[in-house]
Every structure is written in C-alpha cells, then in structure tokens.
Chain A
Amino acid sequence: MSTKEQADRIELLQGTLDLLILRTLLLGPAHGHAIAKTIEFMSDDVLQVEQGSLYPALHRLIKRNWISFEGGTSENNRRAKFYQLTAKGRRQLLVETRKWDKLAGAIAQILRPAGQEGES
C-alpha cells in the first residue's frame, strides 16, 4: 500500500470499533470477515479496519456478553463463527450511540462554533 493510502486511514479508537461492530450486527448475524467488509462498505471505504484488530474487539464484546456466536457455514461453504447481538448488546448499542452523538456534537461545536468566519 502506498503511503498516501495509509495517511487516509483513520485510526479507530478501541471503543469506537466496538460500537461499529455492534451497529453492523444490528443488521443480522455475520462472521468476522463479513463484519470487516461491511464496515468498509458502509463508510464508503473511509474506515479501513485493520482486519486483525477486529478479533480482540470481538472477544471483548463476547466477554461482556454484548454479542454471542454460533458455528455455521459461510457463503462459500466454509465453516465460520457467526456473531450476533444479545439483548444486552442491543441495549448497549443504543446507549453508546447516544453517547457518541453527544461527543461528536460537542467536538464539532468546538471545531466549528456557530457563526464563525474561517474556512468553510
């Protein structure tokens, strides 16, 4: 990969990745690879998740009992773990989303306060 592409890659905070995974699973159960691709796809390729970091995140969510998994077969007939949201996870997603909106709003306010000149 060229350095230019690397610079565009935004480092995702740990908690944010968790949030994204939860959101992805809202659409239905998926296996690890599919989750990674979905995040890329839904963000118009802005968020390039280093696919490896998905797994610690998934395990964190499992430990917290926000997601669970089952064995299953993938599209091309391979064995894979399918992850799905638990009830707790679903509730957590709501809470976290609200927190994230608040945070994003606050940051945006600081960066671009209402009625300010500057580049726009």
Chain B
Amino acid sequence: MRRGKRMMEDLEQDIREHIEMETQDNIERGMSPVEARYAAVRKFGNVTRVKEETRAVWSFIWLEQLGQDIRYALRMLGKSPGFAAIAILTLALGVGANTSLFSVVNGVLLNPLPYPHSNQVVTAANWFPGYGEGSISYPDFLDWVRLNHTFSSLAAYRQNSFNLTGQGDAERVSAMEISASFFPLLGVNPIIGRDFSSAEDQLGGPPAVILSGGFWKTKFGSSEIIGKALSLDGTDYTVVGVIPEDFYFCCETIGFRLSDVYVPIGVSKDPWMRDRRITPGVRTVGRIKQGVTVAEAGADMDGVARNLAAAYPDIEKDLGIVVTPLKQVMVHDIRPFLLVLLAAVSFVLLIACVNVANLLLARSTGRGREFAIRAALGASQGRVVRQLLTESVLLAMAGGALGLLLASWGTRAALAALPSALPRANNVRLDPHVLLFTLIISLFAGILFGLAPAIRTSRPDLHETLKEGGRGGSGVRYRAQSIFVIVEMALAVVLLIGTGLTLRTLVSLWSVNPGFDSHNVLSFSVGFPPALASADANAIRATLRQFTDKIASVPGVSAVSVSNGAIPLNHESALVFWREGQAQPATEASMPFALWYRVGPDYLKVMKIRLLRGRFLTAQDDANAPGVCVIDEDFARKFFGNEDPIGRRLNFDLVYTQPLRIVGVVAHVKQYGLDETVHSPVQAQFYMPLLQLPDDQLKTLASSTTGFIIRTQGSPDAFAGAVRDALREFNSKAVLYAPEAMDHIISQSLAARRFAVILLAVFAALALVLAGIGIYGVISYIVGQRTHEIGIRMALGAQRSHVLKIVLGQGARLALLGVVIGLAAAAGLTRLMATILYGVSATDPLTFAAVAMVLTLIALAACYLPARRAVRIDRLVALRHE
C-alpha cells in the first residue's frame, strides 16, 4: 500500500516534469506561456486516466505473476508427487479429524441452546444442606413466581407417564407436566393450535394436552387434531396444540426420554403436589430479565428463600435456592470428556503440521541449487520467497480441501456412533465456523512452515552452492528436522498415554461390582388399570400381590419383586428421617436423607444383593404387621457407627406415621452408576416393603404406575413379551412398558465413556501413523543426503552391519529423545484429566512403560526401510552421486 502511494506520488512528479518540458518547448516554438502550458496539457491527455491506467498496469502485472507462480508451483509439485501426496494427505487427516471433532464439540458443548437469548435461561432448584441440589415442592414454586424480582418468566416441569387408552391398544406415553409459561419462555411456538392458558394451569382447570410433533406424526398425522379427546389414565384431555418435532429440552434424570405429550402441571390431583414439605420431582426453568446477571438472580432468590423461611419456619428454614445457567446443567457431566477429546485432536493437528513442516524443510534443502541458479539469473529474493510461499499455500489448500471432504464424512460417522447419552446429538452438523477456523489454521501452518525454510534457503551463498552441488548448510537443516521429529514423537507419546489411561479406566469401570448381580435381570414398569385408582388400599395391595404372582408364574422367571421409589441407575428418590432417641430436627431441610427403595420381599433374590446382618423383608411384613425397614452398610456406618442397628427404630414425619424398626443390613448398591463420584452426596440407603406404605400413599401410587424387576433363566429380553402377555391375560387394562435388561442399563451408563475411548483410540492411531511417517521421512532423507558419504565409507571397507547400525542408531536416538520428553510432558499433563479417570492413577507406570515401548518399536520399524536402502547402496553409484 505504501509502495503504491509512493509510486503515485512519483508518477505525479514525472507527469509534472513532462508537462513542464513540453511547455518549455512550446514557448521556444513561439507560444505565449499561457498558450504553451495549455497546449502541453492538451497534448498530454487525461491525467487522471493516465494515473488509473498506470495503477492498473501494476495490478495486472501482479496477477500475471501470481499466475506464473502458481503454474511453476504446480510443475514443481508435480515433479515430486510422492512428497506432495504425503503432505496433502497428512494435512487432510489433521484438518479432517479436527473439523469433525470441533463440529461435535461445538454442537454439544459450545453452541448456545436452541432457545432465543439462551444465556438468560436458567434453572432454579432447592439446595438441601444434607443432600445438595434437588427438586422443589409445587407450593414453593408458586411462591417463587410471586415473590421474585429478577425473572421475567418462571416455569415448573415434572416428568411423568400416562396410560393412553382408546387409540388402539393401551400404551404408555411419556409425558411432561409443565406450567403454561413453559413453551413461551423457551420461545417455542406450536405448529398447530396454541399454548396452555393460565386457566388450564390451575387446580380444577379443564384438562388440556399438547402433543409433541413426533408423537402427533406417528399417531395421528392429520391437522384435525385440535379439540380431539385423549384418554390419559382414564381422564379425557382435550388436545389444544402440537409443538414442533425438533423441540429439545434436556432431562435431568439419569435416563433421557423425549416426551410424547405435555399437560399442565397446575391441574395435577396428586396430593404430593400440594404438600409444601414434599418434593415430587418438580423442577424449574426460568428466564432472567434483560440486563440481570445470574449472580443477581441468585441473590434475589436467596431473598425469596429467606422470605419463605420466615413464613414457614419448620419447613423452609435452612432450605436454599440455587440458580444455574441451563447450559451448565446440560453439559457439566460430559465437559471433561469433550475437553480431553479436544486436546487430543489438537495434538493430532499439531503432529500433522509438524510433519508437513518437516517435509517442506527436507524438500527445500534439496533445491538449494535451483534457488542459486535463479538468483544468478536475476530473480529477486522476494520473488523466490513468494514463489515458495505459493507452493506451500497450494499444498495447504489442497490439504484443506481434502480435509473438508474427510470432515464431512467424519462428522456423519461420528453422528451415527454418538451415544444418545450425549445431549443434542441430533443438532451436530458440520459447522461452517469450525471449518473456516480449521482452514485458516492449515493455511497459516502452510505459510509458516513454507516460509521458514524458504527464507533460509533463498539467500544462498551462490558460489558455495553451485560448487558443491547444493549441499551447503545441511547440518543446520538436519537439526531443525530432528527437532521436529522429536516434537512429533513427544506429542504422540502424550496422546497415547492419555488414550491408554482412559482405556484402562473403562476396563476398571466395567469390572466394578455395582452391588448387585445385573445379569439376567429385567426391569419394566406396569401402568395400573384406571379402575384401581378408586379402589381401597387393601384392594390395591391384593392387586399388587396378584400381579407379582402372575408374573412369577411365567415359565423361566425365577424371582419377581416390585421396585418403586429409587431404582439403581434409573431413578432417584429419597426420604428424610431421624434416629429414635435423638431430638427431632427443627426443619425437614436439616434432617438427614437416605435413598428410599420401596420393594417386595423377593427383591434380594432378584438383585442378589448381599445380606450382611439380620434379615431382609418377607411376605409377612404387610399392612397388618409392625412397620420394618432394612438399611445398607453405608447407612449403618454413617448413623450407627459401631453400634448394632438391628432392632433400632427410625422416625419419620413424612409418609410414615409410625417409626420403623430396622431388621437387617445389606450391602451397598451403586445407585448413581459404576463410577459414583462427587455428584452423589447421599449414599445411605434403606428398603421398605411396598405393601407397608400407608393407605393414602398407596392410593396415589395406584393412579399411576409401579416398577417391577425380575430375574430370568436366560436372556431377559426374550421374556418381555411373555410377561406382557401374562399381564394382559390377567387384566387387559394393565400396560407393560419400558422393559430393559439391567445389563443394558449398566452398559448404557458407560456409553459416553466408551465413545470417548473409541475416539481417542482413533486419534492415537492417527498420531502413531503420522509420527511413523515423520520418522521414516527424516531418516530417508538423511540416508539420501548422505548416500555419497555412505558410499565412501563402504568403499573404504565399512561393513554393511556397521552402516545399518549408524542409520538405526540415528533413528533410535531421535525416537528415544522424543519418548523421554513425551513421558515427562505426559506426567505433567495427565493430571488435568484426573476427573475422568477411575481405578488408575494419572501417572500409572504400566501405561507409561507400555506406550514408551510401543513408540520406540514403531520408530525403529520406520527406520528399517531406509536403513535397508542405505545398506544396499551400490558403492559406485553412491560415489558418483552428487
């Protein structure tokens, strides 16, 4: 730019001078000064046009030269197709892998949620001192709406399911109970019909239902759906709207399900929804006002909590409210994984770039002669550098283009393989921003790595280079290449160690004992016939017994139990209590929690949990017998220490009206998954007989569903059909749904980890291949450069084995240095991934040693071919070689 400006100023001066001279001439011809100048100016022509044309000359020439550069570059690259192919492929692999993974990470981790102004969307939840974050009570929610100042909108939601009858066979549909403000808050507009009105969101309001797009499409499909009546759990709900098919809302429970239907939460007749002391799985999502920060909203809700504590001291005291951005809630479990993967793929890209740099460097040295000749013929250094740059840029673009292809294929492959445990898997696509980023990186790498050797090579000492045939300065070149190779090896080592550690973690987890035997166990749910909701408690108990007996009668079923409340790896439920003999804590919030399993007497037979002391529940522990419970070893340790808990009692102020006597202690069950970590604050567990549930609780249960768990002889999946038939035979209105083998549930819980390991393994393999190519390239090159020298040595009598040793020795030296550096780096870096490791330390010596060995072997193997070539060198040819 500055040059252009100076040129223009120069030109203007030239033009001025020219016109001056012409004017002078005209005066000498006899014109008056005024006439003379006038004539001169006219003769010159349009000054502006001249300036424009000159400017155009420069840009046109520049374009011409660019064309020349490109053609020359293509010719040069064509002369060494092997080099070009490897460089392009290497870069493509790096770019492709990077872009694919960035797209996934972008879609899952970095991208804002699919709601307008998503950084204002938050969750608000209870904070229990003994439990951590948890769901809230509905009356509390209504007060939160009333008392807050920082939310523009707050909605409650709760997961549920219903028996859908009257549309063909009775089936179970997954549902979400929501406030009327739920969809508007998230910016979701119904594609047919409307949202819920506030009148419908009240106790006693007209039952309305909104269908999800997917459910509507598969079940109905016609737009004549508004006003239609659907019978859910025996009540008729009127369809008022349908929402888009791609609506996505994250789920906080351990399993993830898309809801089929939505009903207003305010209309629920469940008595637990009106009790301020009970938190029946209600959660909230809200939108904070423009300009308000999350911290300010949190402070506001602290004020609301204090308000409620003052109004209801025995319920609300000590209970806190915590506000979290929704995005954080969604990704916090998988964040460490994705970050590790991101690091891995960056390593791969780095290795790829280093490889290409190496290649370019190696090649540029061999062209020292070419540059010397061009310089002698008058080419400016700038021109030569520019031409070299063109070559590297062309390579970079070709690599980038191929990488784009690989990326689109890779992203599709990743989508197919992504476990559904990853949120927003359906929203991942090849992101143009990511692509741009990666292309820029590769362009940058191409320029950088092409420039460095270019500048060094293009200023050769002409005489020296022309004399020796281009071998000047090879010592310095060799050092740079060695450094590159060492860096590559180190990077590969770190990557491989990371992969090894995650692999070992997976293996450790896989062999963790969950506390029960998950083989040949099937869990499923049964929706009760609607008539049961109005039966009395004893009839309900009798029905439960009959269901159990009926299922037990299916051939091949060795044990059956109801499974209500908490279900391992599936559902959480907790109850507050206090030990008899101790003072009742002032508020529920300060009472201890334990995970609450409501089961049948054969539960232990199904799950094969170890009985440590006393006895488990039996068929005799029914409504007529004294209330009992069984605790787990963690409970015993935490609340009884060294005392014997058998015979002691636990007090309750919720659900149970009488204290329960402890009759046994069982082994602990891993409720939260095989890698139970920090987010499982409650470890104590207790088991109560379902039949001893107080009457009012049983009636609530009877209006929805219960879980069952069975042990089968042989593969559990085969039994779902038989059990379903048996149940239907018994009562045609009972619906069996969501059958799942326990093994499958456990395997699913490890799905995200498994996926991460697979990805890491792919990257590690890629890194290995690239590093191997790198070493091969360097050693090859060295052998090529030193062919002359090797020939002389052999002519002077050196043994073949000696030559072999020299070459291999060089390779081994490089490799070992790289491995050592890599090990040291890994020792420091793997600390960062400690959160996702399990059963293996971040500096596990076995993994480190194994990786070191593998890489050294690979390096030696890569040296083998060039070494063989060195040994086979014909002495005469070598001596003649320049």
Which residues of the partner chain B approach A16 to less than 8 Å between Cβ atoms? none
Residues of B within 8 A of A36 (CB): 18
Q: In the complex, what distance in Å separates the CA atom of A60 from the CA atom of B288?
A: 66
Number of interface residues of B (CB under 8 A): 25
Q: Does A91 contact B (CB under 8 A)?
A: no
Contact B17 A51 (CB under 8 A): no
Neighbouring A residues of B25 by C-beta, 8 Å? 37
In the complex, which of the residues B17, B50, B56 contacts A33, with contact meaning CB atoms closer than 8 Å?
Answer: B17
Quick check: A53 and B50 within 8 Å, CB to CB?
A: yes
Q: How large is the interface on A (under 10, 10 to 19, 20 to 34, 35 or more residues)?
A: 20 to 34
Question: Given the known A-B contacts A51-B43, A52-B46, are A74 and B21 also in contact in the complex, defined by CB atoms under 8 Å?
Answer: yes
Interface residues of B in 374-425 (CB under 8 A from A): 378
- Which residues of the partner chain B approach A55 to less than 8 Å between Cβ atoms? 11, 14-15, 50, 53-54
**B49 contacts A33, C-beta separation under 8 Å:** no
Contact with A along B788-824 (1 / 0, CB 8 A): 0000000000000000000000000000000000000
**In the complex with contacts A51-B22, A60-B61, A1-B14 CB distance below 8 A:** no
Choose one: A52, A53, A56, A81; the contact of B56 (CB below 8 Å): A56
Assess whether A78 is in contact with B17, with CB atoms less than 8 Å apart: yes
Indicate if B42 sits at the interface (CB-CB under 8 A).
yes
Q: Which of A33, A53, A65 contacts B18 (CB 8 A)?
A: A33
Q: For the complex, give the distance between the alpha carbons of A107 and B53 in Å.
A: 30
What does DSSP make chain B's interface, helix, strand, loop or mixed?
helix
Contact of A78 among B20, B44, B45, B47 (CB under 8 A): B20
A44 adjacent to chain B (CB < 8 Å): no
Q: Assess A63 versus B57: contact at CB under 8 Å? Given A52-B47, A52-B50, A53-B50.
A: yes
Mostly, the A contact residues are helix
Q: How far is the CA of A62 from the CA of B773 in the complex (A)?
A: 47
Q: Is B43 touching A59 in the complex (CB atoms < 8 A)?
A: no
Interface residues of A in 17-47 (CB under 8 A from B): 31-33, 36-37
- Give residues 44-76 of A contacting B (CB, 8 Å): 50-53, 55-56, 59-60, 63-65, 74, 76
Which of A52, A63, A80 is in CB contact (< 8 Å) with B44? A52
Known: A33-B22, A50-B45, A81-B14. A56 touches B61 (CB 8 A): no
Contact A51 B58 (CB under 8 A): no
B47 to chain A, nearest CB (A): 7
A: which residues have CB within 8 A of B? 1, 31-33, 36-37, 50-53, 55-56, 59-60, 63-65, 74, 76, 78-81, 88
19 contacts between A and B (CB under 8 A): A33-B18, A36-B18, A50-B43, A50-B44, A51-B18, A51-B22, A51-B45, A52-B15, A52-B44, A52-B46, A52-B49, A53-B45, A53-B53, A55-B54, A56-B54, A63-B61, A64-B61, A74-B21, A79-B17
**17 additional contacts (CB under 8 A) given A37-B25, A56-B54, A59-B54:** A32-B14, A32-B18, A33-B18, A50-B44, A52-B45, A52-B46, A52-B47, A52-B49, A55-B14, A55-B50, A55-B53, A56-B57, A59-B11, A63-B57, A74-B21, A79-B17, A81-B14
B-side residues, CB < 8 A to A, are: 11, 14-15, 17-18, 20-22, 24-25, 42-47, 49-50, 53-54, 56-58, 61, 378
Q: Which 6 A-B pairs have the closest CB atoms?
A: A52-B45, A52-B50, A56-B53, A63-B61, A33-B21, A50-B45
